[in-house]
Amino acid sequence: MSSSSSAVASTTWPDRLRGYSPPRRYLPVIATAALLIGMFGAGSLRYQGFADPQVVLNLFVDNAFLLVLGVGMTFVILTGGIDLSVGSVVALSTMIAASTLEAGWPAVAAVIAVLVSGTVLGTLMGLVIHYFDVQPFIASLAVMFLARGLCYLISVESIPIRDASFTSFAQGSVPLPGGYRVTPSVLVAVVVFAVGAWILHMTRFGRTVYAVGGSESSAHLMGLRVALIKVGVYTISGLCSALAGLLFALYTLSGYSLHAVGMELDAIAAVVIGGTLLTGGRGMVVGTMFGVLLLGTIQTFISFDGTLSSWWTKISIGALLLIFVVIQRLLTRRQA
Amino acid sequence: MRELVRRPLFWPTLALLLLITLNTVVTPSFLSVRIQDGHLYGSLIDILRNGAPVLLVALGMTLVIATRGIDLSVGAVAAISGAVACVYIAGSDRPAAASTALVAIAIAVVCGLLLGLWNGFLVSVIGIQPIIATLVLMTAGRGLAMLITDGQITTVVNPAFKVLGAGFVATLPVAILIALAVFAVTAVLARRTALGMLIESVGINPEASRLAGIHARTITWTVYVFGAFCAGVAGLMIASNTSAADANNAGLWIELDAILAVVIGGTSLAGGKFSLLGTLIGAMFIQTLATTIPTIGIPAEANYLFKAIVVIAVCLLQSPKARAALRSRRPVRTVKADAA
C-alpha cells in the first residue's frame, strides 16, 4: 500500500468515524450496553475471577425468570401501559405448580395449569383495561391483589416441590463448549427472548405495538387493530409471568405466597434501564436483556465485594433507574 | 331516593355500613365500646387506631392524585422515617427521655419533608412521570432504611415515643387524634381557601392553569411534600406502635392501601377532583375489611383477594363505558357526559 493512499485513508477514516452516529433509536440501548461493559470491566479489574465467563453465564442462570418477565413487560410498556401484577402472578404460578404437583398431577398438567391461569389473568386484565377504560396501573394493581389473595387461599405455608421431572429439570445442566454450563431454564429464557424479539421486530403484531404506543388514536384512525394489541400485550405479559413463575419455582423448588415480592419493580426497572420509553412507542427487547444483565451485574458486584451489604443492591438499582429516566426525559424533551 | 343515590359518597358509605352490619351480625359485641383504665376499648376503637397510618398516608395521596400524580414511595418514606427515629433514640445518651423522643420525631419529620422535596423536584422540575419518579424512591428507599438501621430491626424503649402510636389522650387513641387533626387542617385548607381549587385546576390541565397565573409547579411540588410528610408521620406511628423500626416490613403495601382508600372514596385517578371525606370513609372501609375477614373465618392473608374485588368493582363503577353499558339496558335516558 502506497504512502499517499494511506494518508488519504487516515484523513477520511476518523472523519467518517466522527461523522457516523448510530440511529437515534439505538442510542439508549447502546448507552445501557456501554454501562454494562464498563461495569463488568471495573469488576474484573477490581476482583479476582470476576471476568470468568462462567460469571457471565451465572448472570443468566440467576436471572432467567427476570429476563422472561422483562420480555413481557417490554411489550406492555411499549404500548404505554404498565403491569404491576407480574410479581404476584409469579408467586401464584409457583403456588399452582407446587400444589398441583403435591396433589399428584403429572408435571405436564401442572405446567399447563400454570400457563393457562397466568394467560387468563393477563387476558382479563387486558379486557378490563381496553373495554372499560380502566387505567393499566389500577387494573394491574387489582390483579396484583387478586393473585396474592389466591396464593394465600391455596396455602399460607411454603410448599416444597419434589416431583422427579421438576427436580431433574431444575438440577440439570447444559454443557457449553469450554467446560462452562448453564441450567435448562436459561435456554427457556433465551428462547422466550428470541421469540419476543422476533414478534416485536419482524411481525405485523410487533409493528402495531409500536404504532399503538406512539399514538393510540392515530393507530385507531389508521385502521390498526388496537383492541387486539392492547389485550394481546397483557396476555403476553400474563403468559410470560406464568412462565417466569415456573422458572422461579424451578430455581427455588418451592411454591410460596411471599415469593417474588417487589419483582414487578425489578422487571420495570430492567425495561426502563434497557432504554424503553415509559410513554410507549420506543424501545427494544434487547435493551431489556441488557437491563436484566445490568441488575444482575450489580448483585454480582456486591457479592464479590463482600464488604457491601445486600441493601446496596436496591439503592443502586434506584440510582440507575433515576439516571435513566432523567436521560430519557432529556432526550424526549429535546425532540418535543 | 334517586338524589341520595347520585351523591358521590353514597356508595362508599353504604359499603362501609354494610361491612359494619355484617360484623355486628357475626360478632354481636362488635359495636360495643367500653371504658377500661380510662381508655376506650372495642373493635371500633381498634379499627380507628390501626387505620390511622393508612388514613394519614391516604390524605396525602388524595392531594397528589388530585394533581393527576401518584406517590408510590410512601411506604419507603414511612420505613425511613421510622428507622431514623428509632436509630436516633437507640443511639442517644438518654434513650428513655421524653426530650429524646421529641428530637427523634422532629428529625424524622424533617427527613420526610426532604424526601417529599426530592419527589416533588423530580416530578415538577425535571418533569418525570409521577409513577416513575416515585418508583425510584420506592425501590431505593427500603435500601436506605436498611442502611440507616444497619439491616437490623432496631427496637426502642421510650414511653414518650410509645404514646404516638399506642397511647391514649382523653380516652381516645393518640394515633387517630393525630390523623384526624391532619384531616381537619387539610380539609380547612383545601375547602375554606382557594388551595383545593388550585390543586384541582393543576390536575385538570397544568399548562392551562400555569397560563391562568397559577404557580402550577409550586402546587405540584407542595402536594408531594405534603404526601411525604403524612407518610413520615404514619411511619412514626407504625414504629411507635411496635416500638421498633423494621426497614423491610414497616409500611409494606401501605401505598397500595392508600391508593385504594382514595379510589374507594371517589377521587378520580385522572385527577382534577378530590374528596377528603371520601378518603376518610375509604380508609376506614379498608381497615374494617381487614378486621372482618378473620372474624368471619377466612385466613387474614386472604384480604388481598377481597381488596382486589373491591378495586375491580369500584373501577367498573367509575368507568364511563361500564356505566353506559348498564344504562343502555334501561329505558331511554339522556347519557350525561362524565365529569372525569
CB within 8 Å: A133 and B144:
no
Residue B34: strand, helix, or coil = strand
CA distance B305 to B320: 25
Residue B334 belongs to some domain of the structure: no
CA distance B241 to chain A (A): 24
Here the cell at position A256 is 410460596
Amino acid (one-letter) located at B65: I
CB A64 within 8 A of CB A247: yes
pLDDT-derived band at B330, boundaries 50, 70, 90: low
Task: Identify all chain A residues contacting B309, using CB atoms and an 8 Å cutoff.
Answer: 146
CB atoms within 10 A of CB B151: 14
Is any Cβ of chain B less than 8 angstroms from the Cβ of A10?
Answer: no
Place of cell 422466550: A192
Instruction: Name the β-bridge partners of B39.
Output: B36
pLDDT-derived band at B2, boundaries 50, 70, 90: low
* CATH number, residue B224: 1.10.3470
CA distance A112 to A100: 11
pLDDT digits (tens, 9 = 90+) for B79-134: 999 999 999 998 888 888 889 999 999 999 999 999 999 999 999 998 888 888 89
Compute the average pLDDT of residues A215-227: 91
pLDDT digits (tens, 9 = 90+) for A71-87: 999 999 999 999 999 99
CB within 8 Å: B139 and A321:
yes
Is any Cβ of chain B less than 8 angstroms from the Cβ of A277?
Answer: no
Task: Identify all chain B residues contacting A82, using CB atoms and an 8 Å cutoff.
Answer: 131
Amino acid (one-letter) located at A82: I
Number of residues assigned to chain A: 336
* Most A CBs within 10 Å, among B68, B135, B207, B248, to test the A interface: B135
Query: How many domains, in total, are found in chain B?
Result: 1
Q: Where are the beta strands (DSSP E) in B198-287?
A: 244-245
Instruction: Name the β-bridge partners of A160.
Output: A254
CB B143 within 8 A of CB B252: no
**26-85 of B, contacting A, C-beta below 8 A:** 70
Place of cell 424503649: B157
Residue B333 belongs to some domain of the structure: no
pTM: 0.85
Residue A13 belongs to some domain of the structure: no
Contacts of B84 (CB under 8 A, 6+ apart): B104, B107, B108, B111, B148
Residue A16 belongs to some domain of the structure: no
Residue A1 belongs to some domain of the structure: no
Task: Identify all chain B residues contacting A135, using CB atoms and an 8 Å cutoff.
Answer: 269-270
Comparing CA positions, the residue from B130, B68, B80 lying closest to residue B107 is: B80
Here the cell at position A183 is 441450567
SS (H, E, C) B132-190: HHHHHHHHHHHHHHHHHHCCCCEECCCHHHHHHHHCEECCEEHHHHHHHHHHHHHHHHH
Evaluate if residue A260 carries a pLDDT over 70: yes
Compute the average pLDDT of residues A225-237: 95
CA distance B238 to B164: 9
Comparing CA positions, the residue from A284, A270, A292 lying closest to residue A201 is: A284
Amino acid (one-letter) located at B253: W
**Residue A189 vs residues A60, A66, A67, A221: alpha-carbon distances, Å:** 8, 9, 6, 36
* CATH number, residue A83: 1.10.3470
Evaluate if residue A175 carries a pLDDT over 60: yes
The alpha carbon of residue B147 and the mean position of all alpha carbons in its chain are separated, in whole angstroms, by 25
CA distance A275 to A269: 10
Amino acid (one-letter) located at A72: G
- Residue B68 backbone class (left: φ over 0; alpha: ψ -120 to 50; beta: rest): left
Q: Which domain holds residue A252?
A: 24-331
Is any Cβ of chain A less than 8 angstroms from the Cβ of B121?
Answer: no
SS (H, E, C) chain A: CCHHHHHHHHHHHHHHHHHCCCCHHHHHHHHHHHHHHHHHHHHHHHCCCCCCHHHHHHHHHHHHHHHHHHHHHHHHHHCCCCCCCHHHHHHHHHHHHHHHHHCCCCHHHHHHHHHHHHHHHHHHHHHHHHHCCCCHHHHHHHHHHHHHHHHHHHCCCCEECCCHHHHHHHHCCEEECCCEEECHHHHHHHHHHHHHHHHHHHCHHHHHHHHHHHCHHHHHHCCCCHHHHHHHHHHHHHHHHHHHHHHHHHHHCEECCCCCCCHHHHHHHHHHHCCCCCCCCCCCHHHHHHHHHHHHHHHHHHHHHCCCCCHHHHHHHHHHHHHHHHHHHHHHHHHC
Task: Identify all chain B residues contacting A257, using CB atoms and an 8 Å cutoff.
Answer: 301
Four-residue CA torsion sign, B162, B166, B171, B176: positive
Compute the average pLDDT of residues B182-199: 91
How many Cα atoms are found within 13 Å in the side-chain-facing hemisphere of B244? 11
CB B65 within 8 A of CB B262: yes
Helix (H) or strand (E) holding B234: helix B216-242
Residue A296 belongs to some domain of the structure: yes
CA distance B114 to B23: 42
Evaluate if residue B5 carries a pLDDT over 70: no
Residue A19 belongs to some domain of the structure: no
Q: Which residue in chain B has the smallest CA separation from A322?
A: B136
What backbone torsions phi and psi does residue B41 show, to the nearest 5 degrees?
A: -125, 155
Residue A45 belongs to some domain of the structure: yes
Evaluate if residue B335 carries a pLDDT over 60: no
CA distance B276 to B281: 9
CA distance A278 to A79: 9
Is any Cβ of chain A less than 8 angstroms from the Cβ of B294?
Answer: no
pLDDT digits (tens, 9 = 90+) for A25-66: 777 788 888 888 988 888 888 888 888 888 889 999 999 999
B262 burial via Cβ count (<10 Å: 0-12, 13-18, 19+)? buried
Place of cell 397466568: A118
Is any Cβ of chain B less than 8 angstroms from the Cβ of A141?
Answer: yes
Q: Which residue in chain A has the smallest CA separation from B138?
A: A318
CB B99 within 8 A of CB B232: no
pLDDT digits (tens, 9 = 90+) for A116-156: 999 999 999 999 999 988 888 889 988 998 998 899 888 88
CB within 8 Å: B133 and A325:
yes
Query: How many domains, in total, are found in chain A?
Result: 1
Residue B337 belongs to some domain of the structure: no
Look at residue B340 in the predicted model and tell me its pLDDT. 39
Here the cell at position A41 is 470491566
Q: Which domain holds residue B240?
A: 7-328
Is any Cβ of chain B less than 8 angstroms from the Cβ of A198?
Answer: no
Residue A5 belongs to some domain of the structure: no
CB A252 within 8 A of CB A186: no
Q: Which residue has the higher pLDDT, B171 or A32?
A: A32
**Residue A263 vs residues A309, B101, B222: alpha-carbon distances, Å:** 19, 36, 31
CB within 8 Å: B312 and A128:
yes
B27 burial via Cβ count (<10 Å: 0-12, 13-18, 19+)? middle
Residue A274 belongs to some domain of the structure: yes
Look at residue B334 in the predicted model and tell me its pLDDT. 47
Residue B339 belongs to some domain of the structure: no
CB within 8 Å: B143 and A315:
yes
